[in-house]
Amino acid sequence: MSKYIFFSGKGGVGKTTMAVTTAVYRAMRGEKTLIISTDPASNLGDIFETVIGHVITPIMPNLSAMDIDPDATTEEYREKVIGPMRGIMPDDIMKVLEEQFRSACTVEIAAFDRFTDFLVNDEFDLIVFDTAPTGHTIRLLELPVDWSRHIEESAKGSGQTCIGPVSSIQGAKEKYDRAIAAMRDASRTEFNLVLKPEKTSLAETLRAHNEMSALGIRNFFIIVNGIYPNDEIARSRYANLSVMQARYLTAIGKALPYPSINVSLQSGEIKGMQAIKNFAGIVFDGKNSVVDGRINESIRYDNFADGAALDDILQKKYDSKMVIITGKGGVGKTVTACAVAASLAGDRCETLLVTTDPAAHIGYVLDEPVGDAIARTKSLPHLSAVRIDQKTAVETYKEKILADAVRSGYSVDMLVALTEELESPCTEEMAVFEEFSRLTENGDYDYIVFDTAPTGHTLRLLELPYDYARQVEMMVKIKKETDFTSDAKNKLETLVKKLKDPDRCAFLLVIYPEYTPINEAKRTMDDLTLAGIHVQGIIANNVLEIDNSTPDFFRRRYGMQQHYLGIAENTFRLPIFKIRMLDDEIIGLPMLKEVSESLFRKECCPEKLEYNINIKEKML
């Protein structure tokens, strides 16, 4: 009987590295192991330095790997469900079914259905799941429960779900029930929570722990990753970081009293089989650190764009402008979004900061609560903030859809069927998109800055207008056009036009100067370009600076960063802006001021952050 290990945590904490290292180590010990990525922006291939696709791919003796590709999975699922109906059902009915299975809903259910296939698989001794960042992992783990319940409730009612009749998917409920049982079985399934000794990482891990516990999951293991070597950092300009990490290591031990290991930050990248094996020796056998000998440490990069170039990108030509900030999990999107929004507000522009990330960390960075209703921040008069709360968005969406249906003259039976369909787990994705769309229409602000979820899920959010447009077109063909469908078409056209217009919407990609974030950012840029959306700038975060007294550990990492900054310039051929690595957590306006000055590369004038920080200090 297979055993399962899940790796979960905030973006950028090293989930994939730890999952890969564990899988390789266990395979070397003779266990037949499969590692699967459920992240839409999977980095397994980057770390293994080989192509890994939607099929199980041999990597080394006893180890195989696979990415669950959303597009391929959706096509397989669609064919599995409606394929047997071809030749039996009339052509007009088949056309409607095929359109229905092109909905946004199908993408989520298909990926989830494929995921549960492996939770009832006994072909391997061990299956390692490298998951998407926490908020979306929780969503994935909740889905077996949600779908099992939805199928059961639909069977009592109309017998229909948004993905077809209950009779055709009843077997899926049994599979989902078995998947739930496997996840809750502590003798078979272990959940490794990976985090860094930082405030936001600890907060997100605690939230994940509590939500997983509510699902009946109990068997946790804690991996604290990215710990700086004390002897090196104490002699550097970043010595404060060691004090901060020590404080959070104590807090983690108290808050999460489970078996755990601490893993040191390496001076080289964990990439390629030899580096992975070396790192496995460090993590599990106490060997020496990894040094990437392939990096040319003599390269120096000094071609960063200045603040005037960023001002040009953000220049507002119309009444309002959107700024969408995205990138791989953990590269500093939230900090960047907060710094950009604070700088714009400091220029006395009315600015709205929005997070579409389920983890919603803007409140931690701003150092004040941010709720699901738009509210002005206490310390910056021209800055308002809001987080898109999924549960609130779902309830608002349901009420809106039902109200529109009533106005359009739906019969009682149709309203009952619609109400039942809105209880589908798929509703959540469309509800979040609806709220995102609504906020883009807000005319009260000069700028709306979006702090997005990690790349794969941001791309999914940005694809939804196109998926939703197909849904609306299908509704118009099936029924006469109503006020609802007409309004939906107009809003979608307006949103898509805004996203494609660089004068109305600026896209900025955040990276660390490392191999994996650059590769993922390039894939994101290519996907956006295909959709007619053009990225205008790259923000390199956490860039090291050195002097004559810098310890060897930081010199090696500095050399690695300089190497990849050159690669980033050739890869993107866009302005690259710099946020230097700071010596403390970026929490509150004083630290955001430092980020803003690094990013815009100019002193903040008295009207900007300095003035507002003084106001906050007086209030305290």
pLDDT in tens, 287-335: 766 555 455 656 778 889 988 889 899 998 888 999 999 888 788 899 9
* 232-258 tens-digit pLDDT: 787 788 888 888 999 999 999 999 999
Greater confidence, 304 or 39? 304
d(CA 192, CA 433): 31
Same domain membership, residue 599 and residue 522: yes
Q: For the domain that residue 361 is a member of, what is the CATH number?
A: 3.40.50.300
d(CA 310, CA 400): 39
Question: Is residue 230 located within the same domain as residue 335?
Answer: no
Residue 292 placed within a domain: no
Backbone region of residue 223 per phi and psi (left: phi > 0; alpha: psi in -120 to 50; beta: other values)? beta
- pLDDT reading at 465 higher than 60: no
Tokens, residue 99: 């359109």
pLDDT value at position 249?
Answer: 96
Distance CA 475, CA 469 (A): 10
Beta strands 126-130; 33-37: pairing state: parallel
**Strand 505-511 relative to strand 321-327, pairing:** parallel
Show the DSSP H helices in 479-551 as ranges: 483-500, 515-530
Residue 77 counted as domain residue: no
Question: Do residues 620 and 234 touch, judged by C-beta distance below 8 A?
Answer: no
3-class SS at 493? Answer: helix
- Here the tokens at position 600 are 């815009």
The total domain count for the chain is: 2
User: Beta partners for 128?
Assistant: 5, 35
Q: Which of 203, 156, 186, 151 is nearest to 4 (CA)?
A: 186
Residue after which a domain boundary falls, among 252, 285, 318: 285
Instruction: State whether 315 and 273 are in the same domain.
Output: no
Residue 64, pLDDT above cutoff 60: yes
Return d(Cα 513, Cα 447) in angstroms, integer.
Answer: 28
Residues 256, 170, single domain; the answer is yes
Residue 320 is assigned to a structural domain of this protein: yes
More confident position, 410 or 33: 33
Whether residues 572 and 423 fall in one domain: yes
> Between vectors from CA 100 to CA 90 and to CA 38, what angle results, nearest 5°?
130
Q: Based on the domain organization, do 398 and 495 belong to the same domain?
A: yes
